[in-house]
Structure 1
Amino acid sequence: MDSKGDHGGDSFLEVSTALWMYSKTHPLVQDPLPSWALDHHQSFLELEASIGRTRTVSQIDLVPTLSLMLGLPIPFSNLGMIIPEFFFQTTPSNSDPPSLLSPTQSLLQSASLNSQQLWTFLNHHTSTSSHDLNQHLPHLTRLYQRALELSQLPGHEEQAFQAHRTFATSLLATSRKIWAKFEPNLMIIGILLMLLSLLVSSKLLSSISPTPTTQTPPVRALLLAGLSGGGLGLLIGGVSAWIKLFPEIVATSNLLIGTALGISLGILSFQPNHHPTFSIPSFTTLFKLFPVILHGLGLGSNSYTIWEDRVVLHLISISLFLPLVIRAFSVPKPALRNRLLFFASLFALCLRLISLSTVCREEQGGECRVTFYGSTTSSNAPNWVMSLSIPLAIGLPILPAWFLGISDSYRGPASFFFGVLWRLILLCGSQYWITDYILSHQDLHLSSQLIETAQSVKLLVARVAFFLCLFAASLLWIILPVCIDVKRVDSESESEPKEKGENKKPKLLVIGFANVYGSSYLMFLVACFGILFLVTQPVGQVVLSLGLVAILCLVELNDTLNDIDSLCESYQKAIETVAVTQKPKDEEESRIRKVPSTDLNILVGFYFLGYMLFFGTGHQATFASIQWKAGFVGLPQAHLLWSAVLVFLNSFAGFILVGLALPLLQIWNLSPIINLTDRNKKPDQDDNQQPLDQTQSPDLHPQVVRSLDTQLLETQLIFINLFGINLLLNMVFVLVLRRHLMVWKIFSPRFMLHSILLLLLDFLAVLVTVWPLQAVKIKVNQTFGTQFFA
């Protein structure tokens, strides 16, 4: 600790301490150590004048020293060297007849044992676990062989000891160079690339939609510029690797860095015609992003990171619940106000229940109580949750049915899919963990035959659940129609009198049309939820179920906010129409102009909900919280590939669920509308020849109408940028705190977690765009015809 009280840095006073050793039996030091036994350049330090020249030892040298002094073998992975002062003394030998070893011989014997342990570690490490020391192995082998040769020569004890010392010093220096070397230049480059990626995403956000003066969205030109810049960057990276411009950077890294910089700078430097480069965020936007920024800034504190699971609950309350409650009192329509308050309260209740599931980090000490497991020392579920497992599996399908019932879209195959198939999947997931719970309690005294039967049942239900989930999310989901009912009704209206001789023309009433996209996609989502439910332990299953309810609440809240905005916009248009005595716009034109949006507060809620589910399912940003038991779900024994996949699904189930549910914000209660461009186009006229009505407002141009893909891409970019902001701040703090005492225990695992999360969310964004969302659009087109679009 230095004079200011700092103790987590890398200054001399912060990493040094006094060493005092005492023995009650015999003196630890008998003879003064000769000068040839020490390296006077590395073993002494010049301190302040009052202290003078001082002998120093490394902390790792205590382990081999104490081991040999206590007659114990040196631990396998320790790379320390003996402290010679304690072994330069006369000792009895193990020879027959017994004799005494001189101090020099005793010192050489201890150094030989130390070198033998280091050589064993080096051979085992280079042959099995890693090959990072292989290029240094010939040089280290020569040093060890030289030490052995000198040890066999009489009268060369001093040279032999120095050779053993040289071998140990070289191995330690080489290992530190490979394993404990920070490259600030590479870390700064990584931070720069992350910052550029956020700027690129922000520019792409403002270039997704087409403009009235352009035939194509500016983002296409930006992507071409990025490809050109990436090619140039790849070339420059290859040249720099060839001439070894940066010797510390390997060739592959040179190519990747050059390509990434080229793409980023190419997009940022390109300016599309008549299009702004960046839009400055408003104060409201920055205020909504404040909890996310605060979350990222908190990662610079080890105490905040340790208690992150508690802090996130308060951040999501500040970022979402309070703004929704405040806004509810300004809604002019009571029905919308009550709806907003109801779903906000239900969402808050789900969050509070999720927060009750906790696992404890080692650093939290006695201030944390484990509720995810039966006890602190057990990996089994608590008894109370096992009694809820079957009722949860039976009752959970009622909730999606209730949410779909709000829009009257629980129609068609929904009752079979949710009420039968999905309930069966959930029951299989519950049965698996019930059987596992029974088998893990040895006090039940089960017979060997009953145990074997239970293991077979456990394996069978897991595989049945996997099959049903994959079948339901792929082939069956594609085959089943959309969730609608069609009824025939009379076309006669009281307000329109029927002319004489006119025949009645029946009309078809499509029930569930208003939410045809959302109801179909929800079927895919719950099928994926079934897999996550299966690989999650019982308390985590309850948490995931609450998370699904919270997600649907957020979806309904976003739809309610859109309704409120539409209502306010209608009021404003009515006032303007009366004021200027203009004719109201055509109803169909007004509808085609309407662009459903996602409120930024809702996306921030999704962001924090992912963390709530991560912590609630029994995880922390530590390796100790990994639930290896999940790697055996559906497998008789561990498998190299599938066990890793299962553990990954278990660890990131909350974020996967949130990432897959993100499209619901755009397609919930979004009904197809008629494509006026296709309807008014002549049969012999292609898309590029469609004339534009000059009397039409520019913002009604068909190319200005934002498609579902455009809206979803914008939502996904914003959502991913939230995690990108957090990762950028995390990277900065890891760079600044790279010498911190807790960097490998707190900051580094947190950085690795967030890096994986960003890659995972990128993958999910591509997945939902390519597969389920396009499949939903195809199903709707097959049902209603290609003249309908989203």
Structure 2
Amino acid sequence: MTSTPKKQVHFTPFPQESKDLDADEILRAVPEHRRQNKSLETQMSIKLAARKLWNASASLTGIVFWIAIVQLVSLYLFTSGFLLTRPVFEDVSVCEEPPVENSIAPVSTCWSSNRPFKKTVMIVIDALRYDFVVPSEDNKYYHNSFPVLHEIATARPQNAFLSKFIADPPTTTLQRLKGLTTGSLPTFIDAGSNFAGSRIDEDNWISQLKNANRTVAFVGDDTWTALFRPDFDDEMCYPFDSLNVWDLHTVDNGVISHIFPLLEDSHKWDVAIGHLLGVDHAGHRYGPNHHEMQAKLNQMDQFIRDLVEKIDDDTLLIVMGDHGMDSKGDHGGDTMLELESTLWMYSKRPYFARPQTAGNRTVSQIDLVPTISLLLGLPIPYNSIGFPIAEAFLGAKSNDYKSWAHAAYMTASQINRYRSKFSWSNDDSVLQDLWKSIQASKSDHKKLPQLCEQYARHSLEQFREQWVKFDLNDMYSGIAVILCSAAILVAFVARIRTFETSSVFKNVSAATVLLGGAAYGGAYFTKLVDPLHAAGLGVTVGVLGSSLPMIVRFFSSGGLKVESWWTVLSVVLASVHALSFYSNSFTIWEDGILHHLLVLVGVVFAAASFRLETVKDRTMALWHGAVFAILSRLVSFSRLCREEQGMSCSTTYYGELSSVNSPYALVVLSLLVLILPELIKSFYNTSASYTGSAPIWIGLGLRMGMFLATVYWTLDGVDTYGWDIPLLRGTGLKAIKMMVARTALGAALVAGNYGWYVGALCVRVDVRKDENVAAKVRAAILGYANVYGSYYFLVLINAFVAVIIVTKPLGGMVLAVLLYQILTLAELIQLFDLRSSLFGPVVLGLLGGAYFFSTGHHATLPAIQWEVGFIPVSTITFPFTHLAIAMNTFAPLILTTLAAPLVVLWKIPPNKNPIALQNRVGGIILAVVLYHTFIAANSMVSALVLRRHLMLWKIFAPRYMLAGVTLGACNVVALLTAMASGRVIGYINSLFG
């Protein structure tokens, strides 16, 4: 009997033919007898090695976590000292205690000489910009669509007056409502509470109405109920959800349907308030120059006409906006378009004066508070620093100087009483002289209002100056802590390959918990300092103290050694970016600076390619370097301009209608559905990695995700541009859009990541018979040379699909270019052998910053794309609304931080020392965090140094806030990145180790 010869298996890199096998089959490719011969000791050693690797990965994640906590402490300390709020006094004005004993005119109702109206109807039309209501020869959609206010004011000036209504920044709705009811000024940090309103804890005319037993009816924006709910009548309060900016009609229709029945039952209330949101939402959704805005303004015009017909002679009608909007329909900043709103007051009987300045009259919003308080017969709120509107007190013949002098003197006296609460109030000799002049001119009813107004305006400017105070100790502490975290990061990045991360993590954790807890407990029981401050500093001392030996060894051994000119270039690039924050011009043009730096990176790569040894490497490096530079330049043409850039910048991120998406971007995005997967496939093919799960993820998953994004934004275009598609008529369009978005997000974030986690290697074993030896079989593992990188990159594809859904079409195009540039950078780092250099992390940081601007963002509040929060949900729903906004804002940061491990993992075969590999990856992740720490630290220092700069609150404060939030987001993504890279290394080690 002839015996069959035993087959021999030889592994070769890249065979000509292949046979598909999954990951488990790769294990079965090893001969049976070799697997059975493994001793128990060998198996135990494998398990022990796997446990050590897991501990190293978990410890790296823990180290990133503790550093994130320290940096959070630094931001908290600095912000506590930098973004201060003004003092709020709980004092309440009362009728029995007027600010002066002897008034100018006899007081008949509280502080007022008379109460001219029995009822008041106040209509707030959100974002009613002044040029929306005045005639214009232009043919833009928002012109001449709301003419009723101007028509009545010019035709019957004794019955109505129309004025510009100037808001005080920040122009967020909640802060404007506070100003309109308290008469006080907001501070910069108050803008952040626009989405977390709580009851006003200072005196205001709404609560004064309640104290006077008046009944207040309300309908509209539910922000009012967050501030004044106990002051409204329970049976006449109809709030509507305010933050769904894609809903143009629900709130407005609700106001219109409730306000007229209230007018029919006017005996039940004294003041009725209606707040409509459709104009504001149309601006956010489409921009002001859109036919939907025209339709909404037409609706408001008819609504006011109907109101004018319905009210009686004893009712005062006030129509106003709380702020304006910029050319994109956004607000929150301090451009004139955002600040200029509208004020219109109307009475059926002649009442209002017509001063000579009526043609170009402007009124500050805080001036409404003393005006309406005195008209309603209420005390002026204690914290009010506004001044009455002359037209409301001079009478129909413009000659009631006594009533006007009384209102002016009462207001100035209240401001003087308020000023007395401050220790510095007697330091201003100008105000003291003015007050003496006021007392001496009480009998001169024409001169007295002028002196009172000068006193009020000068006081206002003094308050503005005094309320910009800083706690320098907290600011210095915050900077010191973040510099400590930077020192820790530098030592970790430089020495992480020389120590055991698990022992370092245990030491850091023990010291941090012990010192942090002790500091908090001591502060809590002694009450000497704020417990949160103490705990933060305790945590910092714990992390710094436990890391100190490593830091000392690092700096005593010479510190950061310059291994090559690439390291020098890394420091130069990061420094140029960071130092730009010390100039307002450079900060304004940060987007251009970053794009030029990236072009420089590509040029340097291309120039350095000639130093490589082989023709193939030189060719590939030259190609990738040139492509990197060209793409960086092309992406710079996607931009959103900020006001300070003026005529030197032209916004391209949106279409012609100022805040809507360009249909051309949709066309290009649809083409990228076909192009991008093929481009990524070409990178995988260079290492034979387009196999295994790669065709599923790239050829199918990525393409389907991009297709769903294109479908979503196409449906959005149908709604935006009013395209008539029979199949999409009716109200089902929003439901279809939401279903598409949820499907894509669910597939990317849940199904995609689960599939990746359970094992989605881009490898396969190719087996074929040897043509020369019949009993011999040759096998090769396709994708073996890039087993880490090809597997890990699938995480980026999942993230890309998720963020592209919540990014507008041009932004989606830009992110597709970013994904391609990340692969290009990975190839260049491999070609130049820069896996251990700082250059890769620095370039990733620059890419994240540059693409932040190219996706339609800026370091300004109005640039935040709030509307994307309603892509996956129809109303504000935690955490989905917040997550969508975060993914939209930080999409480039998410992708570039997730890409950090590719610096080490791209195009390397399985490593025999996985713990060392994990440490190298950890060093790169921490280097990316270090870059953003460096940027945040410099933004903090610039805000401190330039705290008296004229542009502090317009430029430097928002840039610091962006840097702080970006650093926090980077730490969160870095944690996820550490876990994902640990999974990749551990899983591959279990198969090939």
Q: TM-score, normalised by structure 2?
A: 0.54
Once residues 871 and 554 of structure 2 are traced to their aligned partners in structure 1, the CA distance between those partners, rounded to angstroms, is: 56
Note if 1:293 corresponds to 2:575.
yes
For residues 361-382 of structure 1, give each alpha carbon's deviation from its aligned partner in whole angstroms, at most 9, with x where no partner exists: 011111111111113x521122
Classify 1:196/1:178 alpha carbon distance in 2 versus 1 (closer, same or farther; 3 Å).
Answer: farther
Indicate the residue corresponding to 1:224 in structure 2: 507
Cα offset, 1:532, TM superposition: 0.8
Classify 1:190/1:749 alpha carbon distance in 2 versus 1 (closer, same or farther; 3 Å).
Answer: same
Indicate the residue corresponding to 2:983 in structure 1: 775
Indicate the residue corresponding to 2:742 in structure 1: 463
For residues 579-606 of structure 1, give each alpha carbon's deviation from its aligned partner in whole angstroms, at most 9, with x where no partner exists: xxxxxxxxxxxxxxxxx82433232221
Note if 1:341 corresponds to 2:579.
no
Quick one: which amino acid aligns to residue 536 of structure 1? T
Q: 1:477 aligns with which of 756, 769, 775?
A: 756
Cα offset, 1:451, TM superposition: 4.0
The alignment's C-alpha RMSD in Å is: 4.2
Indicate the residue corresponding to 1:533 in structure 2: 804
For residues 650-670 of structure 1, give each alpha carbon's deviation from its aligned partner in whole angstroms, at most 9, with x where no partner exists: 111111111111111221112
Indicate the residue corresponding to 2:767 in structure 1: 488
Cα offset, 1:227, TM superposition: 4.0
**How do 1:33-432 residues align onto structure 2 when only pairs under 5 Å count?**
75-76=365-366, 81=385, 101=402, 105-111=406-412, 180-210=468-498, 217=500, 220-221=503-504, 224=507, 227-228=510-511, 231-232=514-515, 235-236=518-519, 238-239=521-522, 243=526, 250-268=530-548, 279-282=559-562, 284=565, 285-318=567-600, 320-375=601-656, 378-432=658-712
Cα offset, 1:457, TM superposition: 2.5
Note if 1:440 corresponds to 2:720.
yes
Classify 1:712/1:267 alpha carbon distance in 2 versus 1 (closer, same or farther; 3 Å).
Answer: same
Quick one: which amino acid aligns to residue 362 of structure 1? E
Once residues 311 and 472 of structure 1 are traced to their aligned partners in structure 2, the CA distance between those partners, rounded to angstroms, is: 39
Once residues 395 and 693 of structure 2 are traced to their aligned partners in structure 1, the CA distance between those partners, rounded to angstroms, is: 86
Where 1:707 maps in the other structure, the secondary structure is helix
For residues 598-644 of structure 1, give each alpha carbon's deviation from its aligned partner in whole angstroms, at most 9, with x where no partner exists: 43323222111111211111111111111122112132344353222
Cα offset, 1:209, TM superposition: 2.2
For residues 277-327 of structure 1, give each alpha carbon's deviation from its aligned partner in whole angstroms, at most 9, with x where no partner exists: 662432833443112111111111111111111111222233x22332232
Once residues 761 and 779 of structure 1 are traced to their aligned partners in structure 2, the CA distance between those partners, rounded to angstroms, is: 25
Where 1:394 maps in the other structure, the secondary structure is helix
Classify 1:276/1:624 alpha carbon distance in 2 versus 1 (closer, same or farther; 3 Å).
Answer: same
Once residues 737 and 617 of structure 1 are traced to their aligned partners in structure 2, the CA distance between those partners, rounded to angstroms, is: 29
Where 2:938 maps in the other structure, the secondary structure is helix
Cα offset, 1:99, TM superposition: 8.1
Classify 1:315/1:111 alpha carbon distance in 2 versus 1 (closer, same or farther; 3 Å).
Answer: same
Question: Is the Cα contact below 8 Å between 2:921 and 2:981 reproduced in 1?
Answer: no
Cα offset, 1:483, TM superposition: 1.5
Q: 2:938 aligns with which of 729, 733, 746?
A: 729
Q: 1:613 aligns with which of 830, 841, 851?
A: 851
Note if 1:710 corresponds to 2:919.
yes
Once residues 492 and 278 of structure 1 are traced to their aligned partners in structure 2, the CA distance between those partners, rounded to angstroms, is: 59
Question: Is the Cα contact below 8 Å between 2:515 and 2:541 reproduced in 1?
Answer: no
Quick one: which amino acid aligns to residue 576 of structure 2? L
Identity of aligned residues (%): 27
- The more displaced of 277-286 and 626-635 is 277-286
Q: 2:973 aligns with which of 761, 764, 768?
A: 764
Classify 1:94/1:365 alpha carbon distance in 2 versus 1 (closer, same or farther; 3 Å).
Answer: closer
Cα offset, 1:723, TM superposition: 1.5
Note if 1:561 corresponds to 2:832.
yes
Quick one: which amino acid aligns to residue 678 of structure 2? I
For residues 671-719 of structure 1, give each alpha carbon's deviation from its aligned partner in whole angstroms, at most 9, with x where no partner exists: 114x4xxxxxxxxxxxxxxxxxxxxxxxxxx7xx862210111111222
Once residues 83 and 388 of structure 1 are traced to their aligned partners in structure 2, the CA distance between those partners, rounded to angstroms, is: 55
Cα offset, 1:761, TM superposition: 1.4
Q: 1:656 aligns with which of 894, 902, 913?
A: 894
For residues 513-572 of structure 1, give each alpha carbon's deviation from its aligned partner in whole angstroms, at most 9, with x where no partner exists: 11122111122221111011111111111100111110000011111112xxxxxxxxxx
Question: Is the Cα contact below 8 Å between 2:852 and 2:892 reproduced in 1?
Answer: yes
Where 1:658 maps in the other structure, the secondary structure is helix
Indicate the residue corresponding to 2:218 in structure 1: none
Question: Is the Cα contact below 8 Å between 1:561 and 1:599 reproduced in 2?
Answer: no
Once residues 943 and 625 of structure 2 are traced to their aligned partners in structure 1, the CA distance between those partners, rounded to angstroms, is: 36
Larger relative contact order (C-alpha < 8 A, sep ≥ 6)? 2
Cα offset, 1:739, TM superposition: 1.7
Question: Is the Cα contact below 8 Å between 2:493 and 2:924 reproduced in 1?
Answer: no
Question: Is the Cα contact below 8 Å between 1:558 and 1:598 reproduced in 2?
Answer: no
Where 2:781 maps in the other structure, the secondary structure is strand
Indicate the residue corresponding to 1:585 in structure 2: none
Cα offset, 1:490, TM superposition: 4.4
Cα offset, 1:745, TM superposition: 1.2
Classify 1:234/1:109 alpha carbon distance in 2 versus 1 (closer, same or farther; 3 Å).
Answer: same
Indicate the residue corresponding to 1:570 in structure 2: none
Classify 1:424/1:273 alpha carbon distance in 2 versus 1 (closer, same or farther; 3 Å).
Answer: closer
For residues 20-77 of structure 1, give each alpha carbon's deviation from its aligned partner in whole angstroms, at most 9, with x where no partner exists: xxxxxxxxxxxxx9xxxxxxxxxxxxxxxxxxxxxxxxx99xx9xx999879986249
Question: Is the Cα contact below 8 Å between 2:918 and 2:985 reproduced in 1?
Answer: no
Cα offset, 1:174, TM superposition: 13
**How do 1:14-33 residues align onto structure 2 when only pairs under 5 Å count?**
none
Once residues 876 and 416 of structure 2 are traced to their aligned partners in structure 1, the CA distance between those partners, rounded to angstroms, is: 37
Q: 2:729 aligns with which of 441, 450, 457?
A: 450
Once residues 402 and 603 of structure 2 are traced to their aligned partners in structure 1, the CA distance between those partners, rounded to angstroms, is: 79
Quick one: which amino acid aligns to residue 256 of structure 1? G
Where 1:510 maps in the other structure, the secondary structure is strand
Classify 1:173/1:181 alpha carbon distance in 2 versus 1 (closer, same or farther; 3 Å).
Answer: farther
Once residues 728 and 715 of structure 2 are traced to their aligned partners in structure 1, the CA distance between those partners, rounded to angstroms, is: 14
Question: Is the Cα contact below 8 Å between 1:558 and 1:599 reproduced in 2?
Answer: no
Where 1:487 maps in the other structure, the secondary structure is strand
Question: Is the Cα contact below 8 Å between 2:521 and 2:531 reproduced in 1?
Answer: yes
Question: Is the Cα contact below 8 Å between 1:223 and 1:267 reproduced in 2?
Answer: no
Indicate the residue corresponding to 1:633 in structure 2: 871
Classify 1:555/1:113 alpha carbon distance in 2 versus 1 (closer, same or farther; 3 Å).
Answer: same
Quick one: which amino acid aligns to residue 551 of structure 1? I
Once residues 278 and 237 of structure 1 are traced to their aligned partners in structure 2, the CA distance between those partners, rounded to angstroms, is: 37
Classify 1:327/1:706 alpha carbon distance in 2 versus 1 (closer, same or farther; 3 Å).
Answer: farther
Cα offset, 1:242, TM superposition: 5.3
Cα offset, 1:731, TM superposition: 0.9
Once residues 782 and 606 of structure 2 are traced to their aligned partners in structure 1, the CA distance between those partners, rounded to angstroms, is: 32
Cα offset, 1:190, TM superposition: 0.7
Q: TM-score, normalised by structure 1?
A: 0.67
Aligned residues: 595
Where 1:719 maps in the other structure, the secondary structure is helix
For residues 257-286 of structure 1, give each alpha carbon's deviation from its aligned partner in whole angstroms, at most 9, with x where no partner exists: 233134324422567889956624328334
Once residues 192 and 735 of structure 1 are traced to their aligned partners in structure 2, the CA distance between those partners, rounded to angstroms, is: 13
Cα offset, 1:744, TM superposition: 1.2
Quick one: which amino acid aligns to residue 534 of structure 2? N
Question: Is the Cα contact below 8 Å between 1:237 and 1:259 reproduced in 2?
Answer: no
